Amino acid sequence: MIKEELVKALNEQITAELWSSNLYLAMSFYMANKGFGGMAAWLKKQAAEEWEHANMLANWTIKRGGKPEVDKIDVVPNDFGTPLEVFKQVYEHECRVSRLIDNLVDVASAAKDKASQDFLWGFVREQVEEEETAQGIVDMIEKAGEAGLYHIDEKLGQRK
Ligand code: MG
């Protein structure tokens, strides 16, 4: 049986994941509107991934006897600047998410909930990948400069 304080923290993370999903969807719309269809497609897949994270957290909560909830999702920004600025914001956001996940592990640890800690380590590992991927795209855009943007757009559009 899962402890109430951990259910509360998991529910807060569900809200955070849904907010992340909306953020990336807004970025996707923004980039599509600017004519960067590949980057828009990449960001839409990122949005779907965050939505899936919310579901994984909810499924875990249910499995352990807790009640997941969907709370109010705050508004997201709708203007993000240049492609470089967009992906710098993706990187910064993923670093923020990593800190939230770390805090969630701390709550599971304080609750002495080993099973939930084990489940959450998957998210900790996922964040290492997320930060690396976002940083990699920022580096790529910085190296390519203005002229290389359309090549990068094509490359990001190939995300599975
Ligand atoms: Mg996530």
The Cα 142–Cα 86 span in angstroms is: 12
- What is the DSSP track for 53-87? HHHHHHHHHHHTT------PPPP------SHHHHH
CA 97–ligand 1 middle distance (angstroms): 7
State the Cα–Cα distance between residues 57 and 2, nearest whole angstrom. Answer: 13
Q: If we measure between CA atoms, which residue out of 89, 92, 86, 91 comes closest to residue 38?
A: 86
The structure's pTM equals 0.95
Between CA 19 and CA 74 the distance in angstroms is 7
Residue 159 Cα to ligand 1 midpoint, Å, equals 17
Torsion, CA 61, CA 131, CA 46, CA 123, rounded to 10? -20
Question: pLDDT tens, 3-35?
Answer: 999 999 999 999 999 999 999 999 999 999 999
Distance 59 CA to ligand 1 centre (A): 15
Q: Nearest-CA neighbor of 22 among 30, 11, 32? A: 30
Distance 13 CA to ligand 1 centre (A): 9
Query: Ligand 1 centroid to 80 CA: how many Å?
Result: 20
pLDDT at 122 over 90: yes
Residue 145 has pLDDT above 90, yes or no: no
Share of the chain above pLDDT 70, in %: 100
71/64 Cα distance (integer angstroms)? 20
Residue 1 reports pLDDT greater than 90: no
Cα of 49 vs centre of ligand 1, distance in Å, is 7
- What angle, rounded to 10 degrees, do the helices at 114-156 and 83-110 form? 170
Ligand 1 centroid to residue 147 C-alpha, Å:
32
pLDDT of 147 above 90: no
List, for residues 67-96, the tens digit of each pLDDT value.
999 999 999 999 999 999 999 999 999 999
| Domains defined along the chain, listed by start | 4-156 (1.20.1260.10)
Q: What is the pLDDT of residues 36-66, one digit of tens each?
A: 999 999 999 999 999 999 999 999 999 999 9
Instruction: Using alpha carbons, select from 83, 81, 80 the residue that is nearest to residue 142.
Output: 83
